[in-house]
Amino acid sequence: MIARIWKGITRAEDRDAYLDYLNKTGLPDYRSTPGNCGVWVLCRIIEGKAHFTLISLWESLDAIKAFAGPDYENAVYYPEDRNYLLALDPHVTHHEVLAQP
């Protein structure tokens, strides 16, 4: 299993609106891709900014490529992300899952 981790930052006051947007765009795309084993959305507020971390679990690199395309280490963004995110990090990280519940 592989964990794909993406991070993004919005203004704290945009947190709920951005979460609503994620629930309409990226999260359904993650969940509907064969080989996706779930996605978690984490957030913490620091100095007026909402720091999001999305952790998705995947059966294989091929499953990740089905979601993200052949350049699977690049982040996937949606049209209105620029309205919320303070910066668009071009990359994500992938980690082999060595233990799970």
* Cα-to-chain-centroid distance, residue 92: 8
Which CATH number covers residue 81? 3.30.70.100
Q: Which domain holds residue 89?
A: 2-96
Position 66 in a domain: yes
* Tokens at 44, concatenated: 């913490």
In a domain, 88, yes or no: yes
Q: How far apart are CA 68 and CA 50, in angstroms?
A: 24
Q: Domain for residue 101, yes or no?
A: no
Tokens of 93: 């990280």
Give the global pTM: 0.93
Instruction: Give the integer Cα–Cα distance in Å for 32 and 26.
Output: 10
Tens of pLDDT, residues 44-99: 999 999 999 999 999 999 999 999 999 999 999 999 999 999 999 999 999 999 99
Provide the domain count of the chain.
Answer: 1
Helix and strand counts by DSSP (H, E) for the chain? 4, 4
Cα 32 to the chain's mean position, in Å?
14
Give which of 85, 94, 95, 101 is closest to 11, Cα–Cα: 85
pLDDT at residue 25 tops 90: yes
Question: Residue 37 CB: number of other CB atoms within 10 A?
Answer: 16
